[in-house]
């Protein structure tokens, strides 16, 4: 069993001061979730101030995206080296909003993953099917394709520091969550597929987290599944109180006074 991973994707929300205030509040409560791996992904503009605010804390910092190029004439892009320089240890790659709103392909995502590993970043690699693909019974083949094409030329050693986020597109920001059983089935296939690719045999080890309208009410039943190692939370991570309630699902260390 992995340490539960609870990651916040703030998307295009929060100014610098809003991000720093949130992080200060989160840090104050850190002793109540020392048995969880908590990660926040602010927008690019808030990364450096967020890194400074996180100093002395074990909460991880992620960028929400990065360029598939190392440097050069790519106006508006931000490189792996730049986000590392801004204080990130993690980077979200292949989020469905990048794939579907900005046309990112498996090939581009693979380039990003290669560069992220080269830079020593830990990628949170997002995959997931659309409603149309689910209804056409293509979920498993699509997922396997996203994994195999995304992980071309990635070594088994690098795969050891990978986190995969299964995010069904139809569940993101829609208020519609996959049932724990639906998510569990796909998570199992993801782990088996990654294990095949890294040619390891034995029990799959890659942590797979679920994303798609996770909230304080759904966290517990999702985390009760054997192959759900954590969650990637969008909307419900924007308010400190609701994010803390998600982090502290089945809390083993309760805040003072509770
Ligand atoms: C996400 O952005 O990765 C996400 C899962 O969003 P939401 O929780 O709002 O569905």
Residue in 59, 24, 19 with CA at minimum distance from that of residue 38? 59
Domain residue extents for the chain: 5-247
114-139 per-position pLDDT tens digit? 999 999 999 999 999 999 999 999 99
Q: Given this model, what pLDDT does residue 251 score?
A: 58
Residue 257: is its pLDDT beyond 60?
Answer: no
9 lines ligand 1 (CB under 6 A): yes
Q: Active-site residues: which are they?
A: 95, 167
Is 191 in contact with 206 (CB distance < 8 Å)? yes
Residue 86: is its pLDDT beyond 60?
Answer: yes
- How many residues can be counted in the chain? 258
Q: In sequence order, which residues have a C-beta less than 8 Å from that of residue 238 and are 6 or more positions away?
A: 10, 13, 14
pTM, full prediction: 0.95
Ligand 1, atom nearest to 174 Cα: 10
235 lines ligand 1 (CB under 6 A): yes
Ligand 1 mutation target, pool 10, 40, 41, 172, most atoms within 8 A of CB: 172
71-83 per-position pLDDT tens digit? 999 999 999 999 9
User: What's the mean pLDDT in 222-240?
Assistant: 97
Fold type of domain 5-247: TIM Barrel (3.20.20)
């Amino acid at each position: 069993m992995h340490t539960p991973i609870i990651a916040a994707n703030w998307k295009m929300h929060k100014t610098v001061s809003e991000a720093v205030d949130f992080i200060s509040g989160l840090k104050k409560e850190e002793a109540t979730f020392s048995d969880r791996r908590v990660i926040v992904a602010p927008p690019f503009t808030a990364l450096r101030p967020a890194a400074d605010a996180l100093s002395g804390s074990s909460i991880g910092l992620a960028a929400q995206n990065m360029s598939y190029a190392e440097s050069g004439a790519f106006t508006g892009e931000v490189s792996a080296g730049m986000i590392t320089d801004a204080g990130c240890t993690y980077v979200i790659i292949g989020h469905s909003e990048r794939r579907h709103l900005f046309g990112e392909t498996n090939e581009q995502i693979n380039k990003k993953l290669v560069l992220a590993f080269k830079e020593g970043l830990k990628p949170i690699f997002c995959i997931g099917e659309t409603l149309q693909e689910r209804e056409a019974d293509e979920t498993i083949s699509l997922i396997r394709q996203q994994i195999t094409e995304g992980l071309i030329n990635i070594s088994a050693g690098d795969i050891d520091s990978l986190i995969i986020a299964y995010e069904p597109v139809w569940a993101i920001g829609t208020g519609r969550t996959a049932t724990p059983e639906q998510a569990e089935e796909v998570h199992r296939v993801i782990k088996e597929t990654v294990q095949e690719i890294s040619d390891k045999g034995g029990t799959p080890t890659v942590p797979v987290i679920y994303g798609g309208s996770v909230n304080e009410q759904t966290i517990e039943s999702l985390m009760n599944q054997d192959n759900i190692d954590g969650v990637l939370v969008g909307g419900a991570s924007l308010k400190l109180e609701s994010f803390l309630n998600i982090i502290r699902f089945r809390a083993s260390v309760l805040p003072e006074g509770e």
